[in-house]
């Protein structure tokens, strides 16, 4: 199944917007419960793209997913930008 079937264009844009908002929060681990699905979608997208280094960071015990998202923010945004353009 292709990524386009997993992630709609609107969903990709939603993920990209989320990354834009949290990129400057400087290791703030808070996010709304409603945003948990966005965080999970980002993790899933990185797995789908076999981004090993990012996936390994998400798997580190006691490290909040938001810290990993902020650490890799630029790289994740670039992946999303490529998918949005290709979409």
Q: What is the pLDDT of residues 15-55, one digit of tens each?
A: 999 999 887 666 566 677 778 899 999 999 999 999 999 99
- The pLDDT value given to residue 3: 45
Instruction: Between 87 and 46, name the one with better pLDDT.
Output: 46
Quote the percentage of the chain above a pLDDT of 90.
56
- The pLDDT value given to residue 4: 44
Closest by alpha carbon to 45, among 87, 19, 1, 12? 12
Whether this model's pTM surpasses 0.95: no
Q: What is the pLDDT of residues 51-69, one digit of tens each?
A: 999 999 999 998 888 889 9
């Amino acid at each position: 199944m292709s990524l386009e079937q997993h992630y709609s264009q609107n969903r990709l844009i939603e993920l990209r917007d989320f990354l834009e908002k949290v990129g400057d929060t400087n290791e703030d681990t808070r996010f709304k419960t409603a945003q948990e699905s966005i965080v999970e979608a980002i993790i899933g997208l990185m797995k789908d793209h076999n981004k090993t280094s990012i996936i390994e960071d998400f798997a580190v015990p006691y490290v909040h997913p938001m810290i990993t998202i902020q650490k890799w923010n630029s790289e994740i945004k670039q992946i999303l930008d490529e998918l949005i353009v290709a979409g």
